[in-house]
Amino acid sequence: MNYIAIAFRFLYIFLFINNIAFCQFPLTAFERNPQSSTTYEECIQFYKELAKKSKYVSIVEAGMSDVEAAIHTIIISNQKEKNYIDCKKNNKIVILINNGIHPGEPDGIDGSMIFVKELLNDKSIHQLLKKITIVIIPVYNVGGMMNRNNSTRANQNGPLEYGFRGNNQYLDLNRDFIKCDSRNAITFAELFQKWQPHLFIDTHTTDGADYPYTMTLISSQKDKMNPSLSSCMESKITPFVYAKMKSLDDEIFPYIDFEGVPDNGIYDFMDPPRYSSGYASIHHCMAYITESHMLKTHEQRCKSHIRILHSFVQAANQFYRDILDAKTKSIDFEKSKKLYTLKWELDFKRADTLEYKAYAIERPINKYTNSPFIYYNSQKQTMKKIPFYNKHNAIRQVKKPKYYVIHRAYEDVIQRLKANGVLMIPLKKDSLIFAHFYKILDYKTPKEPYENHYLHSEVRVEEIEMRKKYFIGDFVIPMGYATDRFVIETLEPEAEDSYFAWNFFDGILQRKEYFSDYIFSAQLDEIFEKDPSLLENYQKKLKTDSLFKSNVNMQLNYLYSQSAYSEPYYRIYPVAKID
Ligand SMILES: [Zn+2]
């Protein structure tokens, strides 16, 4: 045998051994039957076996879910890092993939299992893992995953069985990242802090209009993001992933959010931090949501998810240095940033133009309702130019203080801030603090609850200066850290997802003391003697406000609220801002 023949024989043996190793990886439910999807138990067992067979895989319980079962993380690494500090030492990018937040949309769960097997079988894995550590949450909404059925995804094309969207509190966990009503969300916050990922991908399936694309993609809203992150996404990662998917004959499109029909134009999704991508991006992480389409088969959707996960990993490999730099710049920028935007508005005057592959829209008459309905004719495909409204304008900004101060009595808020890595220093002694405070002037509250809360909106405040007593053990939150954006988004009451909006401070919206009108009426001489300006204002109001003049209760309430007897902290948002 000559040397070339010997070399070939060694190569053959090497490939054979590798192939046997791959074959030994367990088959997934999807591989056994492309119409089926894994259960929670089978999924965890699969990754445990993978961890036994591959030196690159480990499985860790990240924390509890809302049932007696853990949320796991699958770590794919060549150096067994345990957290972001280890990864930082090894100059690694961390990619976090979240699956099964909506367990009725399971193709990311099944797709990730095969994605990992393919990755382990790829000969370039060792090279890849020199730069990247991949952390996968195999199933996030564990309770929802266990509620299996085959009907709740009304129009979805398979699989045969899947979990339910809500958790066991009937909550949508993709609205829970700030308010954290579920145990899952606290676990997520802790694992997010533990890994501090550079790139985040949350896998979903969408309903809505019908079109030829199997996969659509949401990128966290660019105007709201730190510019270094959004420019890295917009100029590098996103175009790479689009081109890669096209080269794999699986062309993708931005997520199709529209009114009427998509042909009139689509809107960019403004993702406040209650959503996974909005949450990730305020923690300096480039975030994407994959949305496969419900009318494609489970097999098509799984395969598309496998392709897009590989595409993201390849993008991270290609733009490794840019991604590392973007995160560092984002954190540095945040620490010194002075002004923060609390409210955004979509700009309908500015739009990009996209080439959209559309199914022809027909409007046949339904014989039962006798009215037209939209029918997307997949046999007639056309190319259309449509506007993409993807620019938002800042409409309300706020100055960052040097410190916030909060009573330890707000335990729920403090637990959530701590889980998100916010530095909090307890006061060593009781202190009378002179600071800026917000008086809550107005807000709207819906009649119907939304995700366990009566979410306030259109909050209006007035900034005042006053003294307020804080006590030993209350917390000072110094600003100038990577978590500043999270603190602003949650502690500034006008922010869309603030803890005020989510009802954590509703106690201040009701008076705790009151007055007896018959005694108060008899005391008015004394009150006016001590405060003549109150009498002056009262008489002015009687002259100018006819309703006020005719309503004695309104008059007494007014006098009480303006008098020294009125409690000072009613409607005063109790978080001090110190400049
Ligand atoms: Zn979803």
Provide the mean pLDDT of the chain.
Answer: 94
Q: Are residues 303 and 419 in the same domain?
A: no
CA distance 13 to 517: 96
CA distance 289 to 454: 27
Q: Are residues 436 and 374 in the same domain?
A: no
Distance 204 CA to ligand 1 centre (A): 4
CATH of the domain at 233: 3.40.630.10
- Overall size of the chain counted in residues: 579
Does the structure show a pLDDT above 80 at 417? yes
Q: Write down the pLDDT at residue 14.
A: 47
| 340 falls within a domain | no
**Residue 483 Cα to chain centre, angstroms:** 15
Distance 22 CA to ligand 1 centre (A): 31
Q: Are residues 189 and 121 in the same domain?
A: yes
Distance 58 CA to ligand 1 centre (A): 27
Element (H, E) at 334: helix 320-336
Distance 514 CA to ligand 1 centre (A): 48
Q: Write down the pLDDT at residue 214.
A: 97
| 342 falls within a domain | no
**Residue 258 Cα to chain centre, angstroms:** 21
| 443 falls within a domain | yes
Torsion, CA 160, CA 205, CA 209, CA 256, rounded to 10? -170
Q: Are residues 312 and 405 in the same domain?
A: no
Distance 177 CA to ligand 1 centre (A): 14
Pairing of strands 475-478, 403-406: antiparallel
| 541 falls within a domain | yes
Q: How confident is the model at residue 434 (pLDDT cuts 50, 70, 90)?
A: very high
Mean pLDDT of 361-376: 92
Q: Write down the pLDDT at residue 6.
A: 55
Distance 102 CA to ligand 1 centre (A): 5
Q: Write down the pLDDT at residue 42.
A: 97
Q: Which of 308, 331, 244, 318 is closest to 93 using CA atoms? A: 318
Q: Are residues 261 and 229 in the same domain?
A: yes
| 338 falls within a domain | no
Find out whether 125 and 54 touch, Cβ atoms under 8 Å. Answer: no
Q: Write down the pLDDT at residue 15.
A: 45
Q: Which domain holds residue 369?
A: 348-393
Residues of the chain with pLDDT > 90: what percent? 88
Q: Write down the pLDDT at residue 5.
A: 55
Pairing of strands 431-444, 403-406: unpaired
Q: Are residues 196 and 156 in the same domain?
A: yes
Helices (H) then strands (E): counts for the chain: 19, 19
- Ramachandran category for residue 442: left, alpha or beta (phi over 0 → left; psi -120 to 50 → alpha): beta
| 343 falls within a domain | no
Does the structure show a pLDDT above 90 at 449? yes
Q: Are residues 133 and 47 in the same domain?
A: yes
Q: Are residues 389 and 405 in the same domain?
A: no
**Number of neighbours of residue 470 by Cβ within 10 angstroms:** 21
Q: Write down the pLDDT at residue 16.
A: 42
Distance 191 CA to ligand 1 centre (A): 21
| 122 falls within a domain | yes
Q: Are residues 483 and 549 in the same domain?
A: yes
Backbone φ and ψ of 463, nearest 5°: -90, 130
Element (H, E) at 211: none
Q: Are residues 235 and 372 in the same domain?
A: no
Joined together, the tokens standing for residue 117 give 């097997």
Joined together, the tokens standing for residue 398 give 């706020």
Residues of the chain with pLDDT > 70: what percent? 96
The tens digit of pLDDT for each residue in 529-570 reads 999 999 999 999 999 999 999 999 999 999 998 888 888 899
Does the structure show a pLDDT above 90 at 192? yes
Q: Are residues 481 and 365 in the same domain?
A: no
Say whether 343 sits in a helix, a strand or coil.
Answer: strand
CA distance 476 to 427: 7
Distance 495 CA to ligand 1 centre (A): 24
Distance 139 CA to ligand 1 centre (A): 13
Distance 106 CA to ligand 1 centre (A): 9
| 135 falls within a domain | yes
Q: Which of 102, 174, 151, 56 is closest to 451 using CA atoms? A: 174
Find out whether 90 and 80 touch, Cβ atoms under 8 Å. Answer: no
Q: Are residues 260 and 374 in the same domain?
A: no
Please tell me the total count of domains within the chain.
3
Q: Write down the pLDDT at residue 102.
A: 97
Find out whether 91 and 77 touch, Cβ atoms under 8 Å. Answer: no
Distance 338 CA to ligand 1 centre (A): 35
Backbone φ and ψ of 158, nearest 5°: 80, 180
The tens digit of pLDDT for each residue in 8-60 reads 555 444 444 444 444 589 999 999 999 999 999 999 999 999 999 999 999 99
**Number of neighbours of residue 239 by Cβ within 10 angstroms:** 12
Give CA separation, 329 vs 251, 368, 483, in Å: 32, 60, 14
The pTM (predicted TM-score) of the whole model is 0.92
The tens digit of pLDDT for each residue in 465-520 reads 999 999 999 999 999 999 999 999 999 999 999 999 999 999 999 999 888 888 88
Give CA separation, 187 vs 2, 228, 246, 435, 500, in Å: 60, 28, 36, 34, 22
Mean pLDDT of 202-206: 97
Q: How confident is the model at residue 217 (pLDDT cuts 50, 70, 90)?
A: very high
The tens digit of pLDDT for each residue in 319-332 reads 999 999 999 999 99
